[in-house]
């Protein structure tokens, strides 16, 4: 967003991200960053208001790096293969997290900057769930329907309506009315995805789930089934009505 990033600032942030990957968010030291850049600590205050600003910037760019890796993987899947797009999104998210555990922890672990996400990080933060939503909407356009009928409570329904109204301005391609249940099922999947990755990286699966990739794919297929997202070509999934959707 800055007109032209000063080379010093980019050098600082590059070093900061490297050190973040080694020591983790809590141990990230402004003085250590300054040392590696080859400058005295106070010099950094020409470019940054403080340590928190470094973390905030790492959070913002972290969301974008994650979203970049995920959308790149998802974009490589044929558009009509909604189940593979869905599962690929899950798999790519986990693979990025496993490859960058400290960066993931900075994004989805305990908040470090004032226990409130800075406003400049909310935009990039939504891109993964938007990818999930796009797949779900595309599948719905292609004829997918959530198999189970469930009723949403009034407050949850209001949330779903509010989110639905927000979707177009977030860049979601919508050509069909969106069921509020669809919104809540996508949020369900989003929650499950990051819940499972956090459990894996934070050690809670240590004595139970060891086949992490396969397990996450199991969860992905379950949430896909709830959305009515079935395998391409019809009857591979467990779905009852064998109506295969048309595709380009």
Residue from 52, 95, 179, 239 in contact with DNA (CB under 7 A)? 52
- Rounded Cα distance between 208 and 183, Å, is 31
Q: Is 180 in the site for DNA (CB under 7 A)?
A: no
State the distance between the two ends of the chain, measured CA to CA, in whole angstroms.
38
- CA 190 – CA 185 distance, rounded (Å): 9
Tokens 């942030």, residue located: 13
Q: Which token pair is 239?
A: 């779905």
Letters for 91-130 (x = contact with a copy of itself by CB under 8 A, - = none) are --------------x--xxxxx--xxx----x--xx----
Nearest to 111, CA basis, from 55, 61, 27: 55
Please report which helix (H) or strand (E) contains residue 111, including its range. none
Among a copy of itself, DNA, none, what does residue 22 contact (CB within 5–8 Å per kind)?
none
Sign of the CA dihedral 29, 34, 37, 42? positive
Q: CA 146, CA 228: separation in Å to the nearest integer?
A: 4
Binding test (CB under 7 A) with DNA, winner from 15, 16, 20, 28? 28
Return the one option of a copy of itself, DNA, none that residue 90 interacts with (CB less than 5 to 8 A, by type): none
d(CA 74, CA 193): 15
Q: What's the DSSP call for residue 167? A: T
Shortest separation between residue 182's beta carbon and a copy of itself, angstroms = 14
Which one of 2, 7, 38, 155 is in contact with a copy of itself (CB under 8 A)?
A: 155
Tell me which residue of 163, 206, 168 sits closest to 186, measured CA to CA: 163
Instruction: State in angstroms the smallest separation of the CB of 44 from DNA.
Output: 7
Which region among 32-40, 79-87, 91-99, 158-166 touches a copy of itself (by CB under 8 A)? Answer: 158-166
Cα gap 170→165, rounded to integer Å: 10
Give the per-residue contact string, 29-48, with DNA (x = CB under 7 A; - = no). Answer: xxxx-----xxxxxx-xx--
Query: Which of the choices DNA, a copy of itself, none does residue 40 contact, using the CB cut-off of 5 to 8 A by kind?
Result: DNA
Residues near a copy of itself (CB under 8 A) are 24-26, 105, 108-112, 115-117, 122, 125-126, 148-153, 155-156, 158-159, 162-163, 166, 184, 187-188, 191-192, 194-196, 198-199, 202-204, 206-211, 214-215, 217-219, 221-222, 225-226, 238, 241
Residues near DNA (CB under 7 A) are 6, 8, 28-32, 38-43, 45-46, 50-52
């Amino acid at each position: 967003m800055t007109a032209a990033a000063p080379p010093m600032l980019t050098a600082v942030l590059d070093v900061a991200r490297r050190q973040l990957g080694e020591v983790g968010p809590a141990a990230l030291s402004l003085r250590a960053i300054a040392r590696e850049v080859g400058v005295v600590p106070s010099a950094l205050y020409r470019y940054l208001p403080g340590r928190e600003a470094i973390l905030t910037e790492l959070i913002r760019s972290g969301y974008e790096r994650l979203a970049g890796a995920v959308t790149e993987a998802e974009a490589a899947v044929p558009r009509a293969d909604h189940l593979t797009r869905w599962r690929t999104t899950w798999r790519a998210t986990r693979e990025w997290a496993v490859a960058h555990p400290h960066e993931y922890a900075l994004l989805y672990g305990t908040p470090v900057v004032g226990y409130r996400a800075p406003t400049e990080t909310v935009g990039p933060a939504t891109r993964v769930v938007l990818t999930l939503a796009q797949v779900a909407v595309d599948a719905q356009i292609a004829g997918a329907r959530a198999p189970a009928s469930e009723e949403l409570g009034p407050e949850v329904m209001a949330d779903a309506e509010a989110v639905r109204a927000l979707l177009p301005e977030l860049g979601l391609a919508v050509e069909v009315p969106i069921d509020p249940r669809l919104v809540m099922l996508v949020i369900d999947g989003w929650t499950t995805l990051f819940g499972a990755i956090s459990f894996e990286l934070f050690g809670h699966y240590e004595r139970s789930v060891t086949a992490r990739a396969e397990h996450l794919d199991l969860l992905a297929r379950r949430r896909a089934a709830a959305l009515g997202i079935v395998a391409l070509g019809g009857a591979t999934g467990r779905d009852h009505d064998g109506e295969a959707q048309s595709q380009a």
